[in-house]
Structure 1
Amino acid sequence: MERSTAGIADSLRQLEDGSSLGGRANGVFSRHVGYGSDQLHWLYGHLRSVSTLADAAWQVEDPEMGHALLRLTGPRLESAMFGSMLLATWLDFLRLADIVLRECPAYSTERLFMDMHRVQQLIEPTLWALASQDPEKVEAAATEMPELMGKLTREFGSIRDGARIAMENSGRIMAAAQLVEMLTLASALRMSLPRLPPAVPASLGVGLVMGSGGVMAGSQIVVSAEWVEMIRRLVQAGVLSLPAISAAVRIHGGQVMMAQANGDLPKGVRDALGESPEVRGMRVTDGAGAGMSKAPKHHVLPKEFRAWFEQRGFRGDMDIDKFCVRLEQAHHQAIHGGGNWRLGRTWPNEWNRMLMEALGEAEVEAGRQLTRNEILNIVAARMKRYDIPMKFIQGGRG
């Protein structure tokens, strides 16, 4: 993913160059190139976060805490995966604009500028949601991506055909045919684009099958057995959601799969990911259907001691707001000593009091500040004792 993102960055820099798209039509398309470059900041940030959390997961001793930290990478991984996919598509449109401006003077600059503005408005809400780091917004954006990619494919085809017709009307028939071929080959969307008349529209496969040599293949997608195994493990570990992976397969599968209605997962996706209980129990659904309850969020690392934790390494991607869990109201009140938090603090086993005393005693015994991993190991043991699930979600400050 980092390599593909770096490739997109290089292509954007080339288009931004004065001799390419950035310098054409008096620079009016520079803002569109700049918009793509701006998205790289949060994409790289998400990839750095994934690396930081993954490193922490491998270093912590408690295996359940390690898995919990690894699950925190899920929304960021999904954001980066779909964000890079959408940014690559935006790059397709920038290349399209570059070729049309260079090779098709019959297609007006004003019309092309409005085309690009319309496409940007289509992708902007999804990119904003993916950049938000809100798991529910990321999940919703991911599951809606196939429909969006279908719209973008049609937009690309419409601009391509408009340029062809404009050249044909100006009497440049052969040049029009060459232009269409050039535009189609320049696009990562070319596998989904319908063929030009008089050929019939492409008939795309809707399923994937495991072929010889351990390769899963369909009419528009080839995925290695290693990729399938990696995705299966990440889904079963709770790092990636199956609805998001299903959406990614639909997108790569072409128009028919992108248009497929939500509901049961495509058979090819189920075949690829196996018949485990995790897979059998999942459907393509919205956040509520996926089990995202609205139960209270509990800060496992007490908020009133934020500065204490920050001094011991809980900053940035490991901020204490990352270590929240959903608890039923009764469970939440029980670990805090009842509904009145002031009275609850007088109970020696109240979560915040108990945890900070345990951490304080551990520091006295060690004769130094605890490391972040040492704190996480102590926290993990106490979470098991209090039946607190190690399924962390993003919390809020305050």
Structure 2
Amino acid sequence: MQERRLHRRVEPRDDATGAVSGGGAADAAAASASQVRDSVLEAVDDVKGSTDNVASALSKLAGRPPTSLGNRGLTGVNGVFIRYLDFGSKQLPWLHSALGRTTELVAVAEEVGDGGMELGILRMTGPRLQGAMFGAMLLAAWLDFLTLADVVLRECPAYSVEKLVRDMHRVQGLIEPTLAALASGDPEQVEAAALAMPELMGQLSGEFSSIRDGARTSMENFGKTLAVMQFVDMLTMVSALKMSLPRLPPAAPATVGVSLVMTSGGVMAGSQVVVSAEWVEMIRRLVQAGVISIPAVSAAVRIHGGQVMMAQTNGELPKGLRDALGDSPEVRGMKVTDRAGAGMSEAPKHHVLPDEHRAWFEKRGFTGEMSIDQFCVRLEQAHHQAIHGGGNWRLGRTWPKEWNQMIMSILRDAETAAGRMLTRDAILKLIAREMKRYNIPVNFTPGRRR
């Protein structure tokens, strides 16, 4: 795997604010941030590997010529299936963009020089990383349907092309809204889509089985009884919803408690979840740092666990995986929950970098992915009013310790002392210090321009 780790610079900094003193807790925060940073990059590498594999498979399908007899295959039959190949390919840019932006934010976090603020910026990667993780899963499932359609077209001429077009159109209709939500980058849309993924994957599994069984029946009716078993074996090998989902890393495997269940027809409908010690540690760090949501991890494990777990309404993690992640409040609470439990309360959003001074911050590098709208925090109404001097904002502005007045005074004084414009990193270090003083959590969520 290509090396993608970023390394902290060790030379002295000459920011206007000087070094943040402390040792002890500050050193612990820096060490924790370094571990979380590594875990984010590890997760990026895993998703990038899955995405690259899907991209390669899509390219091969698109380049596969139709059969010489009957002009069948995804690239044949007058091109009616090309749109489904294009639909898959069109998902790749946003997946690559989400991973690229995640990596860029990691680089920004590394340069801040304050452990608490670094963790805050790393949490900002969460919606992009989470969206990419689930988007890669869903795109892998779509690849399975494309592969299935190609096999049916080539090997099963008795299956109606018109019916297969309807089948693919129906499946795309199931997948498309969720992919759009995951691609949005909006925390609430991404979270809702992730929580709905196990049920969706269960539906897709049923659709896959329906097309496969319909193709088998059409072959039997067409008189190709001797070829049916070989055909079924072929479809089993290309079954994405069991074979091509992103695999959990194989190193140091540990099987956790998901039972194997047999259906009335004797078909294995569930599976064990096998994870590695490295994967467990990565997830533990991302969950405890607030980068990846607890309900989303539960949803991902349910998907990997197979049809039985996908169909479960109880979203708790298997006991074996809970034990492996460790006994912590985060893990004990790792289950599907409501909006408040998922961290999506309706508390007011507070611009940590005052919105009324947007132009000032833009001149100092807070644009695009690092605009001041990315540095909002949710505060209880009373807390929000308190830091702004009470319910009347006009009166509050006359209080020297009102958040906006205080922050701009500190930043301007620092610029005067430095004799130059503050860097973005220097500003964030000062902001981190004041957030601690005002008991404001360094847990950013995107806001909107007022």
What's the TM-score once normalised by structure 2's chain length? Answer: 0.81
Query: Within 5 Å, which residues of 2 pair with 1:118-129?
Result: 118-129=170-181
What is the aligned counterpart of 2:61 among 12, 15, 25?
A: 15
- Aligned equivalent of 2:93, options 15, 21, 41: 41
Counterpart in the other structure of 2:216: 164
Distance of 1:39 and 1:49 partners within structure 2? 16
Letter in 1 for 2:54: I
- Establish whether residue 317 from structure 1 lines up as the match of residue 317 from structure 2: no
Match of 1:262 in 2: 314
The corresponding residue for 1:136 is 188
Which residue is 1:212 aligned to?
A: none
State the distance in 2 between where 1:356 and 1:198 align: 69
CA shift, 1:367, in A, is 2.1
Listed one character per residue, the Cα deviations across residues 89-119 of structure 1 (whole Å, up to 9, x for unaligned) are 0011011111111111110110000000110
Q: Report 1:140-219 matches (<5 A).
A: 140-190=192-242, 200-205=266-271, 218=272
Cα deviation digits, residues 63-108 of structure 1 (max 9, x gap): 1111111111112111110000000100110111111111111101
Instruction: Quote the residue 2:168 is aligned against.
Output: 116
Amino acid at match of 2:115: P
2:123 is aligned with 1:71: yes
Structure-2 residue corresponding to 1:363: 415
Asked if structure 2 preserves the Cα contact closer than 8 Å seen for 1:61 and 1:377, the reply is yes
State the number of aligned residues. 384
Give, in angstroms, the shift of residue 203 of structure 1: 4.6
In structure 1, list runs of 5 or more residues that go unmatched: 206-217
Using the TM superposition, name which of 172-181 and 33-42 deviates more: 172-181
2:15 paired residue number: none
* 1:108-140, Cα deviation, whole Å (9 max, x unpaired): 110000000110111112112211222222122
| Percent identity between the two aligned chains | 65
Deviations 1:205-229 (A, max 9, x none): 4xxxxxxxxxxxx2xx322111111
Q: Which amino acid aligns with 1:332?
A: H
Partner-residue secondary structure (3-state), 1:331: helix
- 294-303 or 51-60: which moved more? 51-60
Determine which of 394, 397, 417 is the counterpart of 1:342.
394
Q: Write the distance in 1 (CA, Å) between the matches of 2:368 and 2:434.
A: 24
Structure 2 residue 334 is the aligned partner of structure 1 residue 285: no
Quick check: 2:325–2:331 contact (8 Å CA) kept in 1? yes
What stretches of structure 2 of length at least 5 have no aligned partner?
Answer: 1-46, 67-72, 245-259
What letter matches 2:59 in structure 1? R
Equivalent of 1:296, from 341, 348, 359? 348
Cα 1:9/1:174, change in 2 over 3 Å:
same
Cα-Cα RMSD: 2.3
SS in 2 for 1:251: helix
**1:204 and 1:254 in contact (8 A); partners too:** yes
Give matches, 1:239-258, under 5 Å: 239-258=291-310
Q: How far 1:291 moved relative to its partner?
A: 4.0
| Alpha-carbon distance in 2 for matches of 1:371, 1:191 | 49
Letter in 1 for 2:92: L
After TM superposition, the score normalised by the length of structure 1 is 0.91
Alignment of 1:353-392 (within 5 A): 353-392=405-444
